[in-house]
Amino acid sequence: MKQRTFTMLKPDAVKRRLTGEILARFEKRGLKIVAAKTLMISDDLAKTHYGEHSDKPFFGDLISYITSGPVFAMVLEGDDVISMVRKMVGATNPKEAAVGTIRGDYAIDTGRNIVHASDSEESAEREINLFFDESEFCDYELPDEDIIYE
Ligand code: YYY
Ligand code: MG
């Protein structure tokens, strides 16, 4: 089923110049970038985005970290893309993330786990609407779609 997911390279990924390398993984997999931008997240946006964690002990550090520098936010489209991207991202704690996943290959600490990805259809819709306006989406066809999909 064709889906969209919200994915964000966190400030450590951008500062470590990993944006291109991580984007290339999504592109090579066959996913379509339908919206993307670099931005500084405001305190309000960070707190809304991570609202489900507001009562957790790590919330303050999480908000400081995610607002500490630019993020690269994007919307990816593809068949079952929500669970696919979660699998490509790997476990929340990079030390437990499988080698071959983004966190398993590039990160060490949970509080510096370099990438965010929506975990369900509901969170994908909520997060996409939080970060992007309708006018920021690109409507186009990938010329190799009939090679990638059966
Ligand atoms: O969806 P995911 O990013 O894999 O994990 P969540 O449980 O939603 O937590 C969001 C974010 O919070 C996580 O990516 C790092 C941070 N965090 C933390 O700093 N310490 C924890 N014990 C759990 C999560
Ligand atoms: Mg999460």
ipTM: 0.99
CATH 3.10.20.30 assigned to 2-133: no
Which candidate in 32, 49, 103, 116 is catalytic? 116
pTM over 0.90: yes
Residue 108, number of CB atoms within 10 A of its CB: 13
Distances (CA, A) of 102 to 53, 97, 110: 23, 8, 13
pLDDT value of residue 109: 98
Q: What is the pLDDT of residue 140?
A: 97
Calpha distance 35→8 (Å, rounded): 11
- Cβ–ligand 1 distance for 110 under 6 Å, the answer yes
Please identify, by atom number, the ligand 1 atom nearest to the C-alpha of residue 91.
4
Q: Is-catalytic flag, 116?
A: yes
Q: What is the mean pLDDT of each run of 10 residues along the chain (150 residues)?
A: 97 98 98 98 98 98 98 98 98 98 98 98 98 97 95
- Pocket test of ligand 1: the residue of 5, 110, 127 to mutate, having most ligand atoms within 8 Å of its CB, is 110
Which residues contact residue 9 at a Cβ distance below 8 angstroms, ignoring those fewer than 6 apart? 18, 19, 22, 71, 72, 73, 114, 115
Domain boundaries, given as residue ranges, for the chain: 2-133
